Amino acid sequence: MPVPEGFEPLDIAKRIGRDLPDFISHSGPVYVREDARMPQLGFEVRPHMCNPGGVCHGGMMMTVMDTGLAFILHAAMDTHVFSPSISFNFDFLAPAQLGQWLETTGTCTKYTKRTGFVSGQLIGPDGPVMQASGIFRITERMVAELPANTA
């Protein structure tokens, strides 16, 4: 399946000047499309992303939603500070099949100096496969200032 127009490979380590890959790079490939309104993450469901039942593993969908909603929070704040997730609610609405393209959509409901509230969906070709809401801790540390991963 061709990657939809506007999506580019997501390389979080490269974005923050790291040499070592991060968790999502081992799970993907995952792609990002950024515009002035709302960034989106997307991926094609590949065999290594599937559970024994042959559909996309819930952990993969949760990983992409966690990261995708953080991107939406950063866009709303117009900054990229370290903002680990505090709490998440995920609802699985439909199975995502092998070969399908899924992408995030969402909105930042509110953010304060220390907390961000974001909700969204993971959309497949037949509509939403997951809905999620998350609460993020907003720190004062810029992402590029975080200590490097070590092997």
Domain CATH for 56: 3.10.129.10
Q: Is residue 98 part of a domain?
A: yes
Q: Is residue 1 part of a domain?
A: no
Q: Is residue 40 part of a domain?
A: yes
Q: What is the pLDDT of residue 149?
A: 47
Q: Is residue 3 part of a domain?
A: no
Residue owning tokens 């200590």: 147
Residue 98 DSSP code: T
CA dist., res. 120 & res. 39, Å (int): 12
In this model, does residue 101 exceed pLDDT 90?
Answer: yes
Cite the beta strand spans of 14-141 per DSSP E: 31-33, 40-44, 85-92, 101-111, 115-124, 127-137
In this model, does residue 43 exceed pLDDT 50?
Answer: yes
* DSSP run (H or E) holding 9: strand 8-9
Q: Is residue 67 part of a domain?
A: yes
Phi, psi of 3 (to 5 degrees): -70, 130
Q: Is residue 20 part of a domain?
A: yes
- Mean pLDDT over each residue of the chain, to the nearest integer: 87
Q: Is residue 2 part of a domain?
A: no
Number of folded domains in the chain? Answer: 1
pLDDT tens digits, 50-100? 999 999 999 999 999 999 999 999 999 988 888 899 999 999 999 999 999
CA dist., res. 10 & res. 42, Å (int): 9
Q: What is the pLDDT of residue 16?
A: 60
The residue segments making up the domain with residue 55 are: 8-145
- The pTM of this model reads 0.85
Q: Is residue 90 part of a domain?
A: yes
- What is the distance in angstroms between the CA of the first residue and the CA of the last residue of the chain? 34
pLDDT tens digits, 123-145? 999 999 999 999 999 988 765 55
- For residue 124, with 0-12 CB atoms within 10 Å meaning exposed, 13-18 middle and 19 or more buried, which class applies? buried
Angstrom distances, CA of residue 82 to CA of 9, 70, 132, 136, 138: 21, 9, 20, 10, 7
In this model, does residue 151 exceed pLDDT 60?
Answer: no
Q: Please check whether residue 63 is in contact with residue 27, taking contact to mean a CB–CB distance below 8 angstroms.
A: yes
Q: Where are the alpha helices (DSSP H) in 8-57?
A: 12-15, 23-27
